[in-house]
Structure 1
Amino acid sequence: MGARERLIVGLDVPTVDEAERMVSRLGDSVSFYKIGYQLAFAGGLSFARELAADGKQIFLDMKLLDIDNTVAKGVENIAKMGMSMLTLHAYPKAMRAAVEAANGSGLCLLGVTVLTSMDNHDLEEAGYPGDAQALVKRRAEQAVEAGMGGIVCSAAEATLVRNIIGPDKALVTPGIRPAGAAADDQKRVMTPALAIAAGASHLVVARPVIRSEDPKAAADGIVSEIESAVAAN
């Protein structure tokens, strides 16, 4: 896997028109895109199909969680869309249902452990005992048991998770911020080089690229940093 395939740019924009313009500006600098709630609910699912048909890889960040049958039927349809990755919350029953539904499709299912916008206080407020690292560890173990394709977690827990899931599964880290970039609403962030060194296979970057005055240069800079980090590790 090349360095460019490790960078996933989040198309966190309000309209498909804006997303189309961003993809055009980025050109060949980016081969992998994330589409989440904001764009999905503005026509982004059809756009995701178009990007996939054009040869782009798509990380559909839907964070599914529902009764088993509903999760399974959703995953079956998403697998038909040509998506590369799909997220769901790492609850054991939901993961098992999703894995069975995606069997043979090539869709990589990713278990979301703890959102990078949450810290220990947020988890306590939500009713989870212990700290973020302990919950990430448990969710990662359960994802492996369920047969998931990988994990989404903060780069701060990447080394811990890599040791649990082994060398071959995907480890996707959002909350990536190049040196000097604002953290925004993320609470557990890391630079691209440090995330790769910690064991991440893919880095999700949105605002530092799409809000840059020169998105293409920003993406190329991150890819260059990934290349150097992979060579050093």
Structure 2
Amino acid sequence: MSMSSSPVIVALDFPDQDSALALVDQLQPSLCRLKVGKELFTRLGPAFVETLVGKGFDVFLDLKFHDIPNTVAAACEAAADLGVWMMNVHASGGRRMMEAAMERLATKSHRPLLIAVTILTSLGEEDIHEIGFQGTPADNVLRLAALAESAGLDGVVCSPLEAAAIRARTRSDFQLVTPGVRPATASLDDQKRVMTPADAMQAGSSYLVIGRPVTAAADPLQALRDINASL
């Protein structure tokens, strides 16, 4: 059972355990979930994820698996055994990869949510053309979101700017997890396609991934409370 009713997922983008836990110890499981990405997981491994779960937090393991179907399915099963609440794969890995992951997770008594990455929020139109995608970021997000839904996944990661279009084309319980969310007073940092938390929720987002506006705040708990209040 999820500990939090808040849609906010705080991104733990830290280089070491002490820094990450110093932030976590200022937060509350009832007010947010936590995202563990590639850097922290590579440095600290599964034990760190289990520490966060042990502290009562729902954990989104953001490793963006992308490999042959059996390898991804096995990796998703291993993540489920850590007690994570949600994990992701790249939709561009294809239907068979996504279906294999869902089939493996269906055997677990505790089945985490499985979502797919569409187009990274750091990529603009020039970027996606350079790597061989035709059309706009929005065109590709919609195409990959439809593929993920038809493969049986629980949702997708997408820019908040594409949330309304995806929401209009997918089932009502399809989860939209949106990075690139910044309060109006925050800097854009390296995100190109952004929206405020309240606007993102109104556009159809299910969960908001928020990093530096909370993690770099003078009072992270108050920053989190302010974001929740704005919703």
Q: Which residue of 1 aligns with 2:204?
A: 199
**2:189 maps to which of 175, 184, 187:** 184
**2:154 maps to which of 142, 149, 154:** 149
Whether 1:102 aligns to 2:105 is: yes
- 1:1-233 maps to which residues of 2 (within 5 A)? 4-28=5-29, 30-90=31-91, 91-105=94-108, 106-226=111-231
CA distance, structure 2, for counterparts of residue 42 and residue 153 of structure 1: 26
Letter in 1 for 2:224: A
Letter in 2 for 1:145: S
Q: CA RMSD in A?
A: 1.6
Letter in 2 for 1:54: K
- For normalisation by structure 1, the TM-score amounts to 0.92
Change (3 A) 1:27 1:55: closer
CA distance, structure 2, for counterparts of residue 28 and residue 55 of structure 1: 6
Change (3 A) 1:22 1:44: farther
Query: Which protein is richer in helix relative to its size?
Result: 1
User: Matched residue of 1:151: which SS?
Assistant: strand
Letter in 2 for 1:119: G
Q: How many equivalent residue pairs? A: 226
Map Cα deviations across residues 56-91 of structure 1 (whole Å, 9 max, x no partner).
100000000001111011111111111011011003
User: Matched residue of 2:27: which SS?
Assistant: helix
Please tell me whether the aligned partners of residues 110 and 150 of structure 1 are also in contact (alpha carbons under 8 angstroms). Answer: yes
Letter in 2 for 1:110: I
User: Matched residue of 2:164: which SS?
Assistant: helix
The alignment-based identity, stated in percent, is 41
CA distance, structure 2, for counterparts of residue 221 and residue 154 of structure 1: 22
User: Matched residue of 2:181: which SS?
Assistant: coil
How far apart are 1:165 and its partner, in Å? Answer: 2.1
How far apart are 1:4 and its partner, in Å? Answer: 4.6
Letter in 2 for 1:71: V
Please tell me whether the aligned partners of residues 4 and 58 of structure 2 are also in contact (alpha carbons under 8 angstroms). Answer: no
How far apart are 1:16 and its partner, in Å? Answer: 1.1
Change (3 A) 1:4 1:206: farther
CA distance, structure 2, for counterparts of residue 122 and residue 15 of structure 1: 30
How far apart are 1:51 and its partner, in Å? Answer: 1.5
Please tell me whether the aligned partners of residues 9 and 30 of structure 1 are also in contact (alpha carbons under 8 angstroms). Answer: no
CA distance, structure 2, for counterparts of residue 68 and residue 77 of structure 1: 14
- Structure 1 outlier segments of 4+, above 6 Å: none
> Which runs of no fewer than 5 residues in structure 2 stay unpaired?
none
Map Cα deviations across residues 95-139 of structure 1 (whole Å, 9 max, x no partner).
111111111432100110000000111000011111111111111
How far apart are 1:27 and its partner, in Å? Answer: 3.3
More displaced 10-residue stretch of structure 1: 69-78 or 189-198: 69-78
CA distance, structure 1, for counterparts of residue 74 and residue 85 of structure 2: 17
> Which runs of no fewer than 5 residues in structure 1 stay unpaired?
227-233
